[in-house]
Amino acid sequence: MTKYTHYLLLFCAFLFDGCQSVEPLSIDYMLPAEVSFPSNLRRVAVVNNMPPVPDNHLIIEESKDKSKSQTEMARKTGYFNGNARIALESLAETLAEEKYFDEVIICDSALRTDDKVQRETALSREEVETLTESLDVDFLIALENVQIRSLRKIEFLPEWRLYTGTLDVKVYPTVKVYIPRRNGPMVTINAQDSIFWDYTSSNMAQAGSKLISDEEMLKEASDFAGTVPVKQLLPYWTTAQRYLFTGGSVNMRDAAVFVRENDWEQAIELWKQTYEKKKKGKQKMYAACNIALGYEMLDSISNAEEWALKAQTVAYEIDKIEEMKDKASVDAIDVPNYLAVTRYLTALQERKAGMPRLKAQMERFQNDF
């Protein structure tokens, strides 16, 4: 059983216990970047500081290894240097689309073309000052390297009598941020992500030949690589899944009507009545979870955390966590309520911890986000 499948079964046990009605909801919120730029840095140049690279070549790994699945027919592993021009354009375009800086300028001339000898990748203080002055910008974001690893496989699916070809590509872009009058880069970002293709056919050769070629893969992977560091450079929006409990009592059902009308304040009042009325049990826990969600939807994260903690306390009693302490081992399925509520609580606490950094990063927009 995979970790994902195990968690899915656990969460289903929590959500659909008894006659409890559940509605999934999506919530969009902003997360802070790893890097915080001073608000006076408003004009940036994206420059190409990648070193000259040798010709790309494919390294083939034979699939004779007995540890591999018997259904695996072929395997090829490739290591590539990314296309600097494509990755640089993608990085600059993605930064510009976010509208975080007043202006994003691209300098696609390779800065190390005229190097006579191999040198460190970091730009010198003099180079940074010359570039920022000539390009009329406040600072630089330099693309330093793009490494790509591809894994092609052809596998047989006996239950379907079909062959599937897959191409799993991992990209490893490196960027550095340079500010004038400072020795060395302000920060180095070593990012990574993956992109995937597949094709299924009744013909083994076709399953492999219909996959994207290495040449096209290199272009698309390089373009994708340019987008990857942006989440670490700039605040970004994310979508998370939440769950609303709507059954079990008149108040819970009436509160769900208010939610559909986007009246979270009225819904919270009804949930609080249910929470106070119930001495213990799952209805009390569901009400507390809903109150936490209501406050989160109103962007009151501290209040949301407070009620998630209350829900966790009730879940602790429901799953008899105290009795579990004496057991040698406890499976997650034995404590579904406590773990599910704790998971939500952790998400809220992570949001709360990131709020000061996010506010600092959004000061240039008067925290309008």
**Do residues 264 and 182 share a domain?**
no
Residue 275 — φ and ψ, nearest 5°?
Answer: -60, -45
How does DSSP classify residue 12?
H
Give 270's contacts (C-beta < 8 A, 6+ positions apart): 251, 252, 254, 255, 258
Q: What per-residue confidence (pLDDT) applies to 159?
A: 86
Q: What per-residue confidence (pLDDT) applies to 4?
A: 37
- Strand intervals (E) in 179-284: 187-190, 193-201, 236-245
**Do residues 10 and 62 share a domain?**
no
Residue 46 contacts residue 106 (beta carbons within 8 Å)? yes
**Do residues 230 and 261 share a domain?**
no
Q: What per-residue confidence (pLDDT) applies to 332?
A: 66
- Strand intervals (E) in the chain: 22-31, 43-48, 72-81, 103-110, 139-157, 162-178, 187-190, 193-201, 236-245
Which tens digits make up the pLDDT trace of 189-198? 999 999 999 9
**Do residues 77 and 8 share a domain?**
no
Residue 162 — φ and ψ, nearest 5°?
Answer: -130, 160
Alpha-carbon gap, residue 287 to 310, rounded angstroms: 10
Q: N- to C-terminal Cα distance for the chain?
A: 41
Which amino acid does the sequence have at 91?
A: L
Q: Contacts by 253-262 with C-beta closer than 8 Å and gap 24+?
A: 255/290, 256/23
Q: What per-residue confidence (pLDDT) applies to 104?
A: 97
Residue 99 included in any domain: yes
Q: How many domains does the chain have?
A: 2
Residue 37 included in any domain: no
Give 313's contacts (C-beta < 8 A, 6+ positions apart): none
Here the CATH number for the domain that contains residue 289 is: 1.25.40
For 51, 240, 340, the CA distances from 16, given in Å and listed in that order, are: 56, 20, 12
Rounded mean pLDDT for each run of 10 residues along the chain, 369 residues in total: 41 51 92 93 95 59 49 83 95 96 89 55 90 96 95 90 94 97 94 95 88 94 97 95 91 95 97 94 95 97 98 93 73 83 96 95 80
Range of the domain at 243: 3-32+237-365
- For CA atoms 248, 25, 15, 355, the dihedral sign is negative
**Do residues 71 and 114 share a domain?**
yes
Q: State whether residue 87 is helix, strand or coil.
A: helix
Residue 308 included in any domain: yes
| 37 closest CA partner among 174, 141, 192 | 141
Q: What per-residue confidence (pLDDT) applies to 335?
A: 84
Look up the pTM and report it: 0.79
Alpha-carbon gap, residue 61 to 264, rounded angstroms: 57
